[in-house]
């Protein structure tokens, strides 16, 4: 089976940096995804990691350590519009995609 854990809520200040952690246990690993979801809206793709290391995409970066079952999403230069839920999702070898419960990030001025 799969367990995906991430903090329920986080708060950060506009302009700051925030790191959202995700730990997972899976039987067969085929990639880790981060999605952003604003309340009442559809999730939107942010990043994908399948190999260890850091993937950078503008203000967002995502890191993966497969041996530790660990990933983080790093958001730099926070903006008010970054207030949203951030979902960590793991794909297993049988294409089953499991999402964590999400981390609700609140950015304050």
Partner 1 sequence: DSGVTQTPKHLITATGQRVTLRCSPRSGDLSVYWYQQSLDQGLQFLIQYYNGEERAKGNILERFSAQQFPDLHSELNLSSLELGDSALYFCASSVVGGSSYNEQFFGPGTRLTVL
Nearer to partner 1, 11 or 93 (CB): 93
- 5 near partner 1, rule: CB under 8 A: no
- The interface with partner 1 within residues 43-72 (CB under 8 A) comprises 43-45, 48, 50
- 95 near partner 1, rule: CB under 8 A: yes
Half-sphere exposure of 72 (CA within 13 A, CB side): 10
List Cα–Cα distances, 108 to 22, 60, 66, 81, 85, in angstroms: 23, 18, 33, 10, 15
In the complex, the smallest distance separating the C-beta of residue 27 from partner 1, rounded to whole angstroms, is 14
Residue 82 in tokens: 């970054």
In the complex, the smallest distance separating the C-beta of residue 90 from partner 1, rounded to whole angstroms, is 11
Which class for 74: exposed (0-12), middle (13-18), buried (19 or more C-beta within 10 A)?
A: middle
Q: Which residues bind partner 1 (CB under 8 A)?
A: 30-31, 33, 41-45, 48, 50, 87, 89, 91, 94-102
């Amino acid at each position: 089976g799969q367990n995906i854990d991430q903090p329920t809520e986080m708060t950060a200040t506009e302009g700051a940096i925030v790191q959202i952690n995700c730990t997972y246990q899976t039987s067969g690993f085929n990639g880790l995804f981060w999605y952003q979801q604003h309340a009442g809206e559809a999730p939107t793709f942010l990043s994908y990691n399948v190999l260890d290391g850091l993937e950078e995409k503008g203000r967002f970066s995502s890191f993966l350590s497969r041996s530790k079952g660990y990933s983080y999403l790093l958001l730099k230069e926070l903006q008010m519009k970054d207030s949203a839920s951030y979902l960590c999702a793991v794909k297993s070898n049988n294409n089953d995609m499991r999402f964590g419960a999400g981390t609700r990030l609140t950015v304050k001025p």
